[in-house]
Amino acid sequence: MTPSERLDATFAALADPTRRAILARLATGEASVTELTEPFDMSQPAISKHIQVLERAGLVSRSRDAQRRPVKLEAKPLAAANQWIERYREHWEGAFQRLDALLSELQAPHPKKKRGAP
């Protein structure tokens, strides 16, 4: 997968609120699919499908721990997405600062000219 395709997969996975909630839960530590299903009004197979999307995007991984297969958050794709967003945030922050400076200049009182003065 190219870096652009990985970024696309990351943003596509993050587009769903259930998947974002799963990632938020995994930020506190690894969990089983059963544990991840508990807070949702969804079946375990439905949550498993969400986890598969997250797994394909590289946002989570599963390991074998005896009988369990804990799901773990993977930070690298989130860091890449953050880096991409940061580039544009810096651009727009600079643009807004320039706009703010222009607005301040336009709103500043200008000295009045006397009539008949050159």
**Residue 114: predicted pLDDT:** 67
In contact, 11 and 54? CB cutoff 8 Å:
no
Q: Minimal CA–CA distance to 81: which of 9, 30, 2, 28?
A: 9
Q: What mean pLDDT value characterizes the chain? A: 90
Q: What pTM, to 2 d.p., does this model score?
A: 0.75
Question: Which domains are delineated in the chain?
Answer: 1-107 (1.10.10.10)
Residues 60-111 pLDDT 10s: 999 887 778 899 999 999 999 999 999 888 888 888 888 888 888 888 887 7
Give the C-alpha separation, 55 to 88, whole Å: 27
> In whole angstroms, what is the distance from residue 79 CA to residue 63 CA?
22
Q: Are strands 71-73 and 60-62 parallel, antiparallel or unpaired?
A: antiparallel
Q: Which two tokens stand for residue 105?
A: 């200049």
